[in-house]
Amino acid sequence: MAENMAVIPEVWPVAADRVGIWLACGPLYVAPVPADSEPHFEIEMDLMARGIRDQVALMHSTSWRVDYRLGGLVATYMAVLKADDLVKGIWPGARPITLAAMETVGKPIPHAPDEAPSPSHFHVLMHGLRHLRFLIDYDPSNAAALGPFMRQHLESLTPALAGLYAA
């Protein structure tokens, strides 16, 4: 009999400034979650070890998927980082996330209603951003934690918890 599937936390650290939304680094992967813990706690411990936990304004779980390459069930979190000025000044390796890139990449490969989706990493990130956009309309405390630049740039997205594969 095979071993049980591991739960592997995945963190997408994003930040926003007056220019746009940035992927600060990553995605970051945390070691499989021990049976006596949970993903959120393990992510916090990992971010502390990396020295960036204090820079996280909001951490929110947005999805999950099976990824055999990573060896388990991936629990995806968005970590919105504090950034009051230019993100590149804080995160020199940050990469811009643009609507043009979203339009160029397009939607993920469709799947039947009774089949598992197989999104790319880019689509996982886009889903996470649309999920954050949803929080602006429906969760005032999380919306406030996003900060003004992130809220401003997310406004151009359609808020959604699902529907990435919709026509």
Does the structure show a pLDDT above 90 at 101?
no
pLDDT at 59 (0 to 100): 98
pLDDT at residue 165, rounded to an integer: 60
Other Cβ atoms less than 10 A from the Cβ of 56: the count is 19
- Please write down the long-range contacts of 85-93, taking CB distance under 8 Å and 24 or more positions apart: 85/17, 86/17, 86/18, 86/19, 87/15, 87/16, 87/17, 87/19, 87/22, 87/24, 88/22, 90/15, 90/24, 91/15, 91/22, 91/24, 91/25, 93/24, 93/25
Mind listing the pLDDT tens digit for each residue in 11-61? 999 999 999 999 999 899 999 999 999 999 999 999 999 999 999 999 999
* 115-147 burial code (b ≥16 CB/10 A, e <16): eeeebeeebbbbbbbbbbbbbbeeeeebbebbb
- 50 vs 111, more confident: 50
Q: Give yes or no for a contact between 20 and 44, defined as CB atoms under 8 angstroms apart.
A: no
Q: Is the pLDDT of residue 166 over 70?
A: no
